[in-house]
Amino acid sequence: MAKIKLEYLWLDGYEPTQNLRSKTKVEEHENFKGTIAEIENWSFDGSSTKQADGGSSDCVLVPVAIYPDPTRINGYLVMCEVLNADGTPHSSNGRATIDDDNDDFWFGFEQEYFIMDTKTQLPLGFPIGGYPAPQGLYYCSVGGKNTHGRKLVEEHADLCIAAGLNFEGINQEVACGQWEFQLFAKGAKKAGDEIWVARYLLDRLTEKYGYYIEYHPKPLGKDMDWNGSGMHANFSNSVLRTCGDKAVYDKICEAFRPVVLEHIAVYGAYNDQRLTGKHETASIHDFSYGVSDRGASIRIPIATVQRGWKGYLEDRRPASNGDPYKIASRIIKTVKSAL
């Protein structure tokens, strides 16, 4: 028998932005295979996470995905859904709202974020009492003058790959101290699971560096000439991947127009500070789509057109602090309404 460490991860009930929570369960197993079937539900004190009252505080953690924990011996990361004591999905459980049981929808999320110094409370590369050089040379840069935080970012990439996430890339972003990673999954729930696990690994990694991650979509202020952070959602289903018809793409894109407010409501808090029509965003008050247009609400990639209208779409509006479960759920609902 060997002891294993199971790190149960879940989302709390804080609003407008939920936080990751986790706790460790040590169990003895013989020939543990690292599968969901081998582990059990658990519970936690929901009164401490704004998910229950003290008089009836138990919430249930239901494992939905498991990954090796590359930082621990015999360790595993267990992503969970939160249920009420009666077995119904908790109101904070965005994953339970996803209507994609056959994994027809594929999602690729581009997670942007700022690396912040805990001592200065500023992004890496920002001097105390001033500003670094203007934007321009930070994007995909190399060298200590313009590149800040690479050691952390590279280590995070290695951890995600070692954990078995479908990690697809990293790059420094437009603002100083701003980075991005990309993940892809066949299945909306799986895509959400992997973004949350990747965020967990990133947040935990900062503990040894003296940093923290800022997911606010406009942490430097809405009036500052610095890019905000988004989480662009690249999505497709079997229709988008195979239809070969521009008219179908137009119909699906137009389905997003009358439900702009419903999408913005779940695309992340304070997104109005980012979606200004500047810094590669569309205005939060407008809706548009276009081929290769990074200033549109939805971009139609040129590769999709070149393949004869077979491919995917990119919704550029989701904020960096958005919940990928809720974002995917809303996108799926809108796409299905057009078909």
3-state secondary structure 59-106: EEEEEEEEEECCCCCCEEEEEEEEECCCCCECCCCCHHHCCCCCCCCE
Task: Tell me whether the CATH fold assigned to 2-93 matches the one assigned to 106-337.
Answer: no
Structure tokens at 12: 């709390």
**CATH placement of domain 106-337:** 3.30.590.10
Q: Residue 9, SS3?
A: strand
pLDDT of the residue at 251 = 98
In b/e form, how buried is each residue of 76-86, taking b as 16+ CB within 10 angstroms? bbbbbbbbbee
Q: Residue 153, SS3?
A: helix
Confidence of residue 29 (pLDDT cuts 50, 70, 90): very high
Q: If we measure between CA atoms, which residue out of 72, 82, 59 comes closest to residue 9?
A: 82
CB atoms within 10 A of CB 2: 11
What strands lie across the sheet with 20-29, from one edge to the other?
Answer: 20-29, 2-11, 75-83, 58-68, 42-45
The span from the CA of 309 to the CA of 242, in Å, is: 8
234-286 pLDDT per residue, tens: 999 999 999 999 999 999 999 999 999 999 999 999 999 999 988 889 999 99
Q: Mean pLDDT across the stretch 52-61? A: 93
Mark out the alpha helices in the chain (DSSP H runs): 150-162, 188-206, 238-242, 246-255, 260-266, 302-306, 324-337
Q: How much of the chain exceeds pLDDT 90, in percent? A: 95
Confidence of residue 205 (pLDDT cuts 50, 70, 90): very high
Confidence of residue 62 (pLDDT cuts 50, 70, 90): very high
- Give Cβ neighbours of residue 208 (< 8 Å, ≥ 6 apart): none
- pLDDT of 54 above 90: no
Q: Mean pLDDT across the stretch 163-188? A: 98
Q: Mean pLDDT across the stretch 16-26? A: 98
Q: Mean pLDDT across the stretch 290-295? A: 94
pLDDT of the residue at 138 = 98
- Give Cβ neighbours of residue 227 (< 8 Å, ≥ 6 apart): 135, 173, 174, 175, 178, 279, 280
Indicate the average pLDDT of the chain. Answer: 97
Q: Mean pLDDT across the stretch 148-157? A: 98
pLDDT of the residue at 222 = 78
- pLDDT of 221 above 90: no
The domain limits of the chain are 2-93, 106-337
Structure tokens at 146: 């313009």
Task: Name the DSSP letter for residue 18.
Answer: -
115-125 pLDDT per residue, tens: 999 999 999 99
Global confidence as pTM:
0.97
- pLDDT of 1 above 90: no
Structure tokens at 331: 């996108």
Structure tokens at 195: 């973004």
82-111 pLDDT per residue, tens: 999 999 999 999 999 999 989 999 999 999
pLDDT of the residue at 215 = 98
pLDDT of the residue at 224 = 79
- pLDDT of 225 above 90: no
Q: Mean pLDDT across the stretch 52-58? A: 91
- pLDDT of 331 above 90: yes
Q: Residue 311, SS3?
A: coil
Domain 2-93 architecture: Roll (3.10)
Q: Mean pLDDT across the stretch 148-153? A: 98
